[in-house]
Amino acid sequence: MPFLCSICGEESTRICVRCTKDACNNHLCEKCLRCSDCCECEVTLSEQPPTARSVFPKHEPPPVEELPEPPEPEKLPPETLQPETLPPPEPAL
């Protein structure tokens, strides 16, 4: 049965050997098995293995790219434009 880490709220299945609070792997020392609140080991943060939170960056939406302006329609010289010829109207009966 998983519990929640008393420090960060992530799922945890182990407890601190000193205070018996629930602690996730990120907040439980591998040497003394104490939570980060109780641990007295001289381990700096850079010596600890990377966590999933530090390896995977936060999700950020991709930057919005502006679309280029559409090209203007081709303009034909007036002499190339011919009026549409329609057949003559039929005589009325």
- Concatenated DSSP letters of 2-48: -EE-TTT--EE-EE-TTT--EE-GGGB-TTT--BTTT------GGGS
| Per-residue pLDDT tens digits for 23-79 | 988 888 888 999 988 998 876 544 555 555 555 566 677 778 887 887 777 666 665
What per-residue confidence (pLDDT) applies to 18? Answer: 92
pLDDT at 81 over 70: no
pTM: 0.42
Name residues whose C-beta falls within 8 Å of residue 87's C-beta, 6 or more positions apart in sequence. Answer: none
